[in-house]
Amino acid sequence: MRVIVIGILAITSLFAFNNIYVPNYITASENNRFNQWVTYFSNCEGYTVEYKNFDSFKGGDNTIQMQESRMASDITDVRDELGFVTVYFDWESDVIFYIGSDSKSELDYCYFHKF
């Protein structure tokens, strides 16, 4: 009886721990263009891609909306200059953004593009 209980516990724990190691897909957006951007940055060296809620950055003078092509080149420039860049995404809002400083000041700005 004890062997059966230990066997059941072992099998149950395998299912529980197996779900922990299943990779979390980084996008849940229905916007294909947004998903392509996230996939691109995820697969390139020098980029870190993290989920972050955009509402925490939205608003204020330090939040700047950019055109898609301009933002892509700016992110590449930051990566080339520093060797890395963190690109944040909010799949509920289909927003990609990054934090950077203006060359004229020490302030950090949130540059974003909404798809």
Instruction: Answer yes or no: is 48 within a domain.
Output: yes
Q: Are 42 and 50 in contact (CB under 8 A)?
A: no
**Residue range of the domain that includes 80:** 29-114
* Total domains in the fold of the chain: 1
User: Nearest Cα to 109, choosing from 67, 44, 65, 50?
Assistant: 65
* pLDDT score recorded for residue 71: 87
* pLDDT score recorded for residue 104: 63
Instruction: Answer yes or no: is 14 within a domain.
Output: no
Instruction: Answer yes or no: is 95 within a domain.
Output: yes
Instruction: Answer yes or no: is 19 within a domain.
Output: no
The tens-digit pLDDT sequence of the chain (115 residues) is 666 656 565 565 555 544 444 444 455 678 888 888 888 888 888 988 888 888 877 666 788 888 988 888 888 888 888 888 899 988 888 899 988 776 666 677 888 889 8
CA distance 29 to 1: 49
